[in-house]
Amino acid sequence: MRMNKVKKVSKTKKASKKMSKKPSEKLKIKEEKVKSLKLFGTDGIRGKAGKFPVTPDIILKVGQALGHLLTREKKKSEITKVVIGKDTRISGYMVEQALASGLNSVGVHVQLIGPLPTPGIGFLAQNMRADAGIIISASHNQFHDNGIKIFGSDGFKISDKVEREIERIVFGSGIESLLLEDDKIGRTKRIDDAAGRYIVYAKNTFPLDLTLEGLRVVLDCANGASYKVAPMIFEELGAEVIVLSNKPDGFNINRDSGAMHPDRLSEAVKTYRADIGIALDGDADRLIVVDEKGRVVDGDCILALCALHMKETKVLKGNSIVATTMSNLALDELMNENGIKVFRSEVGDKNVVKEMRAKGYNLGGEQSGHIVFLDHSTTGDGVVAALKVLEVSMVRDKKVSELSEVLKPYPQVLRNVRVKKKTPVDELAGFKELFEYETSKLGKSGRVLIRYSGTEPLIRILVEGKHKKIINEVAVHFEDFFKSNLV
Looking at residue 173, the DSSP 8-state letter turns out to be B
| Full-model pTM | 0.88
Q: What is the mean pLDDT of the chain?
A: 92
Q: Which fold has domain 198-404?
A: Alpha-D-Glucose-1,6-Bisphosphate; Chain A, domain 3 (3.40.120)
For residue 109, the surrounding DSSP H or E stretch is strand 109-115
Mean pLDDT of 291-302: 98
The tens digit of pLDDT for each residue in 232-276 reads 999 999 999 999 999 999 999 999 999 999 999 999 999 999 999
What integer pLDDT is reported at residue 480 of this predicted model? 97
What integer pLDDT is reported at residue 456 of this predicted model? 83
Percent of the chain scoring above 70 in pLDDT: 93
At residue 15, what are phi and psi to the nearest 5 degrees? Answer: -65, -40
d(CA 422, CA 426): 11
For residue 361, the surrounding DSSP H or E stretch is none
Distance of alpha carbon 166 from its chain centroid, rounded? 20
What integer pLDDT is reported at residue 181 of this predicted model? 85
What is the maximal distance between C-alpha atoms in the chain?
69
> pLDDT confidence of 20, banded at 50, 70, 90?
very low
What integer pLDDT is reported at residue 455 of this predicted model? 76
Helix, coil or strand: residue 445: helix
> pLDDT confidence of 133, banded at 50, 70, 90?
very high
d(CA 339, CA 147): 40
CATH code reported for the domain at 412-486: 3.30.310.50
d(CA 313, CA 327): 24
Mean pLDDT of 343-372: 96
Domain boundaries along the sequence of the chain? 2-192, 198-404, 412-486
Looking at residue 260, the DSSP 8-state letter turns out to be G
> pLDDT confidence of 8, banded at 50, 70, 90?
very low
d(CA 255, CA 241): 21
d(CA 84, CA 201): 18
At residue 415, what are phi and psi to the nearest 5 degrees? Answer: -125, 145
What integer pLDDT is reported at residue 307 of this predicted model? 98
β-partners of residue 190 are 112
d(CA 421, CA 419): 6
| pLDDT value at 34 more than 80 | no
139 labelled catalytic: yes
**Catalytic: which of 101, 105, 139, 226?**
139
The tens digit of pLDDT for each residue in 378-412 reads 999 999 999 999 999 999 999 999 999 999 999 99
Q: Do domains 2-192 and 412-486 have the same CATH topology?
A: no
Whether a cis peptide bond, with omega within 30° of 0, leads into 119 is: no
| pLDDT value at 223 more than 70 | yes
Residue 313 neighbours by CB under 8 Å, 6+ apart: none
What's 2-192's CATH class? Answer: alpha beta
